[in-house]
Structure 1
Amino acid sequence: METPAFMRPALRTVRPLIKPLTWLALALYIGLVVYVVFFARRRQNIVWSPHLVNLVPLANTIRAYRDVAYIGQWNYWSNIFGNIALFVPLGPLVAAATGFRRWRWLLAIGVGASVLIECAQYVLEIGVPDIDDVILNSTGALVGIILWELLFRKIYRLLLYK
């Protein structure tokens, strides 16, 4: 794909900034994830207990669906889509910053990051360590990788190399 003539002067000035800005975006994203998972106000109301740990896939999600009248539609759906959306940017940002191309490695990074977060929640006794979060976060990472492959990688390459 050839770069249009009107974009070439702008790309010459922007191109050297793309890689550093990508690394900055990745660092800001990681900071946001750490804040949301460990420091957001909603976490202050949880009294940690080892009984909160869930290692049975989808058990808490199904239980929450049954109790949706008590916990509220917003809380139920924001937990599901929030966990997915939180990890959508991970794959594209890691791919753009590091140059990883294989979707399996990007997915492994997403799953590993989610497992690391859940283990940290357990060790630090913050939040609720839940296998459902790993499943939802991994789904979000996969969605991000698919978006990267279908849309963003071509645009990123155009900006960086053409």
Structure 2
Amino acid sequence: MIEMNAALTLKKWRARLLFHFVSIGYLAFLFDLLFVRNRGFLDGYNYNVIPFRTIGMYISQAHHFNFWIWSTNLFGNIVLFIPLGFLIPAYVRFARRPMLALVLLLLVNTSIEVAQIVWHVGSFDVDDIILNFFGGMLGIVLFVRLKRAVKRQNV
């Protein structure tokens, strides 16, 4: 019985270590993508403070954009932030309550957009906040469901 518990503990330790490495890798990738990569396609500094303006443009004028640009701007912003929504409650203890996780997610997403325009590495777009928040919200839902499943399995 002791050997089985030791093996289980080692397995948990390895899983946690892998989770931390994957988390660090994701955060490094996110930082690189949002702040470091060549973002010289912008002329000046653009911003959009009208909700759903950019989203509506990509939907109503999809035929003016190639599929890669259209899908990346809409779905990429959602998919990219699903892991962040999972990581917030995983690492921030008080954010394990879904409403607090959502508030923290909104603060993080807004801070990213503000930092991009302050550091001149992107543009402020409230639609990015909306899409990123939606993706993060999916990550929070995933975290809550996984936590419940693990809790039921351990009972």
TM-score, with length taken from structure 2? 0.81
Per-residue CA distance 1:11-35 (angstroms, 9 max, x = gap):
2212234445444433322211111
Match of residue 142, structure 1, among 123, 137, 141: 137
Matched, 1:92 2:86: yes
Q: Which moved more, 1:75-84 or 1:88-97?
A: 88-97
Match of residue 107, structure 1, among 102, 110, 117: 102
Higher-RCO chain (CA-CA 8 Å, sequence separation at least 6) = 1
Q: Which moved more, 1:97-106 or 1:122-131?
A: 97-106
Q: 1:16 to 1:98 in 2, by over 3 A?
A: farther
Q: How many residues align?
A: 151
Structure 1: gaps (5+ residues): 1-6
Aligned to 1:4: none
Aligned to 1:128: 123
The answer to whether the 8 A contact 1:87-1:110 is kept is no
Aligned partners of 1:138 and 1:111: how far apart in 2? Answer: 6
Aligned partners of 2:103 and 2:148: how far apart in 1? Answer: 22
| SS of 1:44 mapped into structure 2 | coil
Matched, 1:64 2:61: no
Aligned to 2:13: 16
Aligned partners of 1:157 and 1:32: how far apart in 2? Answer: 31
Per-residue CA distance 1:35-68 (angstroms, 9 max, x = gap):
1112234x2322232xx21000011221233332
Matched, 1:27 2:4: no
Per-residue CA distance 1:79-111 (angstroms, 9 max, x = gap):
111111111111222222333420111112211
Structure 2: gaps (5+ residues): none
Q: 1:88 to 1:11 in 2, by over 3 A?
A: same
Aligned partners of 1:48 and 1:29: how far apart in 2? Answer: 29
Aligned partners of 2:30 and 2:76: how far apart in 1? Answer: 11
Amino acid at match of 2:108: A
TM-score, with length taken from structure 1? 0.78
* Displacement over 6 Å in runs of 4+: none
Q: Which moved more, 1:65-74 or 1:129-138?
A: 65-74
How well do the aligned residues superpose, as a CA RMSD in angstroms? 2.6
